[in-house]
């Protein structure tokens, strides 16, 4: 049975095809202006889902990088402070050796006592070193000064006993300790015989015009302990640097995958748009010929 094709059917089909062509061009123009394959998730749910995953991964990676930066800041500050502490202890060791020289007068020994006193107070200042308003040698009590200059009748002492680590997550379920256990530095070998107690003992002997060579072994042990703690810190610094490199590599990789997933191929989009414009123009010309015939055209 033959189907009667009316003018209205031709017009409807032509308009429907024109609308379809215009929607296609509109989509290509959106890609050209935004640089993205899709403008809303419904256009391609798979691309949208992958995009959300990559963005979430980037945000997580950025947080890990911030944690690494914080850990590096703490470690670098701690290392430079410990380096300065080492210089102090080295100078005290020199003075202890010098105090055993029989040619040194009691007045010279008292002068040494004054120097050791200044070195001790500077050691206390270093013990209260801060970064971003937080004490780096106070364990997790970062708001409390670990060295109290008024302790022990004004002699000063390291009063913190907090040895808790400050752990930062630098990858999924991977943590690094950003601080150093100050108890191994200032309260070595124990609270009652720490570095400040040792320095106070040296000051007392020298102030009385006596040699302080009997403290050499204890001072050497303190110096060696400081070096050991700094070596441990150095190993942690190296590890964090490797983690930082890996996070930077991950950022580049994730960004590349996200770009491949979402970014439109601009050359391809422009080519397709030009092609679609030509098709649309041809459709308009064809449509004009379909709509044009009327009764008046036949009566001319």
Side-chain-side CA neighbours of residue 287 (13 Å)? 18
Instruction: Classify 147 as helix, strand or coil.
Output: strand
Distance of CA 160 to the CA centre of its chain: 28
Closest CA to 51 of 254, 233, 223: 254
199 and 222 Cβ atoms separated by less than 8 Å: no
Q: Model confidence over 76-123: pLDDT tens digits?
A: 999 999 999 999 999 999 999 999 998 999 999 999 999 999 999 999
30 and 38 Cβ atoms separated by less than 8 Å: no
Find the CATH number of the domain harbouring 203.
1.20.1330.10
Angle at 203 between CA 201 and CA 207, to 5 degrees: 125
Give domain status of residue 41, yes or no: no
**Sign of the torsion formed by the C-alpha atoms of 251, 254, 256 and 259:** negative
Give domain status of residue 5, yes or no: no
Domain hosting residue 245, numbered range: 52-257
Q: What is the DSSP letter of 144?
A: S
- Structure tokens belonging to residue 59: 């945000």
- Structure tokens belonging to residue 138: 């106070």
Give domain status of residue 278, yes or no: no
Give domain status of residue 168, yes or no: yes
Domain count, the chain: 1
Give domain status of residue 22, yes or no: no
- Structure tokens belonging to residue 115: 């120097």
pTM listed for this prediction: 0.78
The pLDDT value recorded for residue 275 is 72
Burial 108-147 (b: 16+ CB within 10 A, else e): ebeebbeebbebbeebbebbbbebeeebbbbbeebeebbb
Flag residues of the chain having pLDDT under 70.
1-34, 37-38, 263-270, 272-274, 276-300
The pLDDT value recorded for residue 189 is 83
Give domain status of residue 94, yes or no: yes
């Amino acid at each position: 049975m033959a189907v009667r094709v009316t003018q209205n059917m031709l017009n409807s089909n032509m308009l429907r095809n024109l609308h379809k062509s215009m929607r296609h061009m509109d989509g290509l123009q959106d890609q050209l202006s935004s640089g993205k394959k899709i403008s809303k998730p419904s256009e391609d749910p798979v691309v949208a889902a992958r995009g959300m995953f990559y963005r979430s991964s980037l945000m997580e990676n950025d947080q890990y990088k911030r944690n690494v930066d914080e850990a590096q800041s703490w470690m670098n500050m701690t290392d430079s402070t410990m380096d300065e502490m080492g210089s102090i202890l080295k100078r005290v060791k020199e003075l202890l050796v010098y105090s055993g020289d029989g040619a040194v007068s009691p007045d010279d020994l008292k002068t040494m006592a004054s120097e050791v006193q200044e070195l001790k107070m500077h050691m206390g200042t270093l013990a209260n070193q801060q970064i971003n308003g937080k004490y780096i040698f106070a364990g997790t009590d970062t708001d409390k000064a670990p060295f109290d200059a008024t302790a022990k009748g004004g002699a000063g002492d390291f009063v913190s006993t907090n040895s808790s680590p400050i752990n930062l997550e630098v990858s999924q379920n991977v943590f690094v300790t950003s601080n150093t256990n100050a108890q191994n530095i200032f309260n070595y070998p124990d609270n009652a015989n720490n570095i400040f107690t040792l320095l106070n003992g040296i000051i007392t002997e020298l102030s009385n015009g006596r040699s302080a060579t009997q403290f050499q072994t204890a001072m050497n042990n303190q110096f060696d302990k400081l070096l050991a703690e700094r070596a441990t810190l150095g190993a942690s610094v190296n590890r964090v640097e490797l983690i930082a490199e890996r996070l930077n590599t991950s950022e580049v990789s994730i960004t590349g995958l996200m770009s491949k997933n979402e970014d439109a191929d601009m050359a391809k989009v422009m080519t397709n748009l030009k092609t679609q414009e030509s098709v649309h123009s041809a459709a308009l010309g064809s449509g004009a010929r379909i709509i044009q015939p009327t009764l008046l055209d036949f009566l001319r």
